[in-house]
Amino acid sequence: MIPIAKPLVGEAEAEAARRPITSGWLTQGPEVAAFEQEFAASVGAAHACAVSNCTTALHLALLAAGVGPGDEVVTVSHSFIATANAIRYGGGIPVFVDIDAVTGNMDPAQVDAAVTSKTRAILCVHQIGMPCDMPALLAVSARRGLPLIEDAACAIGSSIRIGDRWEAIGKPHGDIACFSFHPRKVITTGDGGMITTNNGEFDRKFRLWRQHGMSVPDSVRHGSPTVIFESYPVLGFNYRMTDVQAAIGREQLKRLPGIIESRRRLAARYHEALAAVPGVTPPHEPAWARSNWQSYGVRLADGIDQRRFMQAMLDRGVSTRRGIMNAHLEGAYAHEPWRAGGGLTASEAAQDEVVLLPLYAQMTTDEQDTVVEVLKTVVAELGGA
């Protein structure tokens, strides 16, 4: 079976995990601090704060933006459900706008019309690693005086051209960017997340909130030559990353350039191999974007049933996944408040017509060629040729 994804980990990560294990400091500590510094440097952010996962990162980002009960956040339904859920955790109301059918990302033209007097923030998603049109979204954010938060869960290693410069997603270009280190992502710590910002006050809040609202970090208290009594001035959360995870993350960060190079090479091979195959359309990468190709999604032609296609691929030893879900179609949001800022037809079509193909840094050309040949066979059988 050729899997949909496979994390690239090995002896370097295993050896790194030994450091906190043998030191006795297993939870948030010196490895987390080092990982934060190295991550911030890698993307060009002033601050990086490690947390337990990207969902908690989004929760804290929205809290920092001032989103509270009844406030609206303009976002996309076409994303993993955690995007919408994070808005609901603080009592906010998701306002879903449609995607651009070509890029699969938030359509900036629809954002402005969705803003009301209740809107507190804009939450865009760099879906499966493809950067959003940040200049267009930043223009709306500035004109409306709204913070722009980037759900960059899938986008570590992606970049965008700003003027004549290529800049990393996570710099950040909006006010806050949030990353995931789940095993499906380009680099992993098993689970975990990171929040980047250039706003020092936001970073201070993140660090306070992630550890129960404790006024003094453990590292300061344990290293003090005098007794310190901590206090808890605000309601906080247990959103810490462990030092074991951070040690692994530091090694993963070293691998990142090579991983991105491999993924882009594999994506280019897919482009070339699938460009002339009837029944499928390869994904589009705008000239101003460089995706990390966290996932590679092809669109099926009319008449090819998504589930039958995926089952036929699976029966031949190739694992796939359906297009990105839509939160508004899930049972949870039959009971949660939300509204649409317009039609969501492109979002719904993408869920039903896009299929994600296997892609991982250590994928061999033989494996990739097998995926392509199986795809051609299945498409022909289902009427795409």
For residue 379, what pLDDT is reported? 96
pLDDT level of residue 61 (50, 70, 90 thresholds): very high
Does the residue 3 lie in any domain? no
Q: Which residue has the tokens 């098993």?
A: 190
For 307-360, the pLDDT digits (tens) are 999 999 999 999 999 999 999 999 999 999 999 999 999 999 999 999 999 999
Does the residue 1 lie in any domain? no
Asked if residue 279 and residue 233 are part of one domain, the reply reads no
Question: Distance between CA atoms of 258 and 260, rounded to whole angstroms?
Answer: 5
Give the ranges where the chain is alpha helix by DSSP (H): 11-23, 30-43, 54-64, 82-89, 108-114, 134-144, 200-209, 218-223, 243-274, 306-315, 345-353, 365-381
Contact 338, 236 (CB under 8 A): no
Question: Distance between CA atoms of 354 and 52, rounded to whole angstroms?
Answer: 30
Pick the closest to residue 188 from 328, 8, 341 (CA basis): 8
Asked if residue 347 and residue 233 are part of one domain, the reply reads no
Does the residue 17 lie in any domain? yes
pLDDT level of residue 221 (50, 70, 90 thresholds): confident
For 112-166, the pLDDT digits (tens) are 999 999 999 999 999 999 999 999 999 999 999 999 999 999 999 999 999 999 9
Q: Which domain holds residue 282?
A: 257-381
Residue 10 has pLDDT above 90, yes or no: yes
Does the residue 154 lie in any domain? yes
Kindly state the tokens that stand for 257.
């350039």
Contact 188, 8 (CB under 8 A): no
Asked if residue 86 and residue 182 are part of one domain, the reply reads yes
Of 223, 254, 285, the residue that ends a domain is 254
Asked if residue 226 and residue 276 are part of one domain, the reply reads no
